């Protein structure tokens, strides 16, 4: 019976795990929904009570894994402020879309802190955000050119980053329209989602 008992307390480690999991699915969903990678290179996965699409492209998987592992570390350190998925045109290098995930970290939390919030409740929040990402295709303009993507991470200024990481510009969208999406919180990390896209004339 003990095994059936749902977890009502969440730790920093658990929160980090949930948030990184969300980022993985979120990035994959964006890439699929926006047609940045061919749909046949995605496979179906069941999670949060949703059918999610995850890429099978080895290079892409490796890249996302690299980013996610680094973000996991920074989430544990509470040094990450934002994660941005930038969709750029390959031909003109123009920023077409900008999916921004603001991360608010509760810096009072330590490794031993436990907060009362059930995993189910958090996953419900994540589910609603992912659903909104999926639904946002309806209002976002069609990407007519071949596009690629980049993942930016806003971190604290004094943070030392690994060699494989370099500083970047903010990649603003020129002549943009902004839409705020839902947010979810684990009580340790709060993630606000929003999308900025190029206004069509």
> Which residues of the chain form contacts with other proteins (CB under 8 A)?
59-60, 63, 66-67, 70, 81-82, 84, 86, 88, 90-94, 98, 100, 146, 148-157, 159, 161, 164-174, 176, 178, 180, 194, 196
Which lies closer to other proteins via its Cβ, residue 135 or residue 146? 146
Q: Rounded to the nearest whole angstrom, what is the least distance from the CB of residue 23 to other proteins in the complex?
A: 14
For residues 104 and 81, give the distance between their C-alpha atoms in angstroms, rounded to a whole number: 7
Which lies closer to other proteins via its Cβ, residue 45 or residue 90? 90
Q: Rounded to the nearest whole angstrom, what is the least distance from the CB of residue 13 to other proteins in the complex?
A: 23
Residues 200, 142: contact at Cβ < 8 Å? no
Q: Rounded to the nearest whole angstrom, what is the least distance from the CB of residue 115 to other proteins in the complex?
A: 26
Which lies closer to other proteins via its Cβ, residue 2 or residue 174? 174
Pairing assessment for the beta strands 9-10 and 115-116 based on DSSP bridges? antiparallel
For residues 86 and 99, give the distance between their C-alpha atoms in angstroms, rounded to a whole number: 6
Residues 156, 143: contact at Cβ < 8 Å? no
Q: Rounded to the nearest whole angstrom, what is the least distance from the CB of residue 106 to other proteins in the complex?
A: 18
Which lies closer to other proteins via its Cβ, residue 27 or residue 53? 27
Q: Rounded to the nearest whole angstrom, what is the least distance from the CB of residue 7 to other proteins in the complex?
A: 33
3-class secondary-structure state, position 200: coil
Spell out the residues 6+ positions from residue 106 whose beta carbon is closer than 8 angstroms to its own.
78, 187, 188, 189
Question: What sign has the CA pseudo-torsion 42, 60, 188, 5?
Answer: positive
Q: Rounded to the nearest whole angstrom, what is the least distance from the CB of residue 2 to other proteins in the complex?
A: 42
Which lies closer to other proteins via its Cβ, residue 100 or residue 185? 100
For residues 165 and 150, give the distance between their C-alpha atoms in angstroms, rounded to a whole number: 12
For residue 61, what are its two tokens? 């998987």
Which lies closer to other proteins via its Cβ, residue 110 or residue 164? 164
């Amino acid at each position: 019976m003990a095994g059936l008992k749902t977890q009502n307390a969440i730790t920093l480690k658990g929160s980090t795990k949930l948030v990184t999991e969300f980022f993985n699915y979120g990035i994959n969903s964006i890439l699929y929904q926006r047609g940045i990678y061919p749909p046949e290179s995605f496979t179906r996965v069941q999670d949060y009570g949703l059918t999610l699409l995850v890429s099978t492209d080895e290079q892409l998987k490796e890249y996302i894994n690299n980013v996610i592992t680094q973000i996991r570390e920074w989430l544990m350190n509470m040094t990450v402020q934002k994660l941005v998925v930038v969709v750029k045109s390959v031909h003109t290098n123009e920023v077409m879309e900008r999916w921004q995930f603001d991360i608010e970290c509760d810096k009072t939390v330590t490794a031993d802190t436990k907060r009362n919030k059930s995993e189910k409740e958090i996953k419900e929040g994540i589910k609603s955000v992912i659903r909104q990402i999926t639904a946002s295709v309806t209002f976002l303009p069609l990407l007519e050119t071949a596009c690629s993507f980049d993942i930016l991470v806003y971190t604290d200024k004094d943070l030392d980053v690994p060699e494989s990481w370099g500083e970047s510009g903010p990649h603003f969208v020129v002549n943009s329209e902004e839409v705020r999406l839902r947010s979810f919180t684990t009580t340790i990390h709060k993630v606000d989602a929003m999308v900025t896209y190029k206004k069509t004339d």
